[in-house]
Amino acid sequence: MKLRSSIVAFCGILSFIVFPLFQNHVKMDYYEIVTKSFTATNAERSALIIKGWAKINLTALNENQLENEFKSITKKLNIPFKPIQERYAEFIKFQQVFDSDSALIEISLQSYPSETYLETIITIDSNCQYSKKYYSRVEELLRSYSQADLGITLIGTFKGLLSEEEQQEIINTAFQSINAQLVEGINTESLISYSGYTENCPDYLLVAGKKINIGIGLRYHILDNKTYLNIGAPLIFQEY
């Protein structure tokens, strides 16, 4: 599978995203609320994206330390160790893109004078047979770090331009399937984007004092005459 690399700069993300990633007595995790709500809409699957971020150190790591850390990460994700090293004036970066038959796996490890960050992105095409396996691997990887965030987004399509009533029905169906309540959102001619919260999942993102753990967006693309559905937890972490 050949998919476009999407590793981007991510420093500072952790400074404003704060939510309890791992808790006891989990009812449903992010993977489960996303896949359940998506399935309820009957959209055609296009891709599933898993993103993990972590601040792994409060100081800079030298090249040997970064290499050892990166080797440990690739081992936990069960991929070959073949990083590309880049050195800049203010930071060192190790990164790797591994394209398998089932997923595109991207890893970036960046060390600055004051901190060291990890980002991993796993993109799976419409055949989501191994998606739970990859989600569990990233979840287990992030357990090694005290400051870690995890997100997942399912992308799908509907043929043609949907009416406002059809779009609202899709949103309602997705929310109702996981007993989610609307928290905030926007509704324009070109975009519908809502954030909600369900008590079925104990993990959440705290935004302006409000709990959020599910995001749903709909947008029509004229080039392929399809309406794209994005469902993410705790939010949708990519452009749509």
Considering the domain boundaries, does residue 210 fall inside one? yes
Considering the domain boundaries, does residue 12 fall inside one? no
Write the CATH number for 75: 3.30.2030.10
Residue 184 has pLDDT above 70, yes or no: yes
Lowest mean pLDDT among 99-103, 109-113, 154-158, 191-195: 99-103
**CA 218 remoteness from chain centre:** 17
Task: Give dist(CA 156, CA 34) in Å, integer.
Answer: 12
Residue ranges making up the domain that contains 228: 18-233
Residue 110 has pLDDT above 80, yes or no: yes
Place of tokens 């109702």: 176
Task: Give dist(CA 118, CA 85) in Å, integer.
Answer: 14
Considering the domain boundaries, does residue 85 fall inside one? yes
Task: Give dist(CA 81, CA 95) in Å, integer.
Answer: 10
Considering the domain boundaries, does residue 6 fall inside one? no
**How many separate domains does the chain show?**
1
Q: What's the pLDDT at 14? A: 35
Average pLDDT, the chain: 88
Considering the domain boundaries, does residue 45 fall inside one? yes
Considering the domain boundaries, does residue 94 fall inside one? yes
pLDDT tens-place string over residues 211-226: 999 999 999 999 999 9
Mean pLDDT of 6-23: 37
- How many beta carbons lie within 10 A of that of residue 185, not counting itself? 15
Q: pTM to 2 decimals? A: 0.85
- How many beta carbons lie within 10 A of that of residue 81, not counting itself? 13
Considering the domain boundaries, does residue 10 fall inside one? no
Beta bridge partner(s), residue 116: 57, 111
Considering the domain boundaries, does residue 60 fall inside one? yes
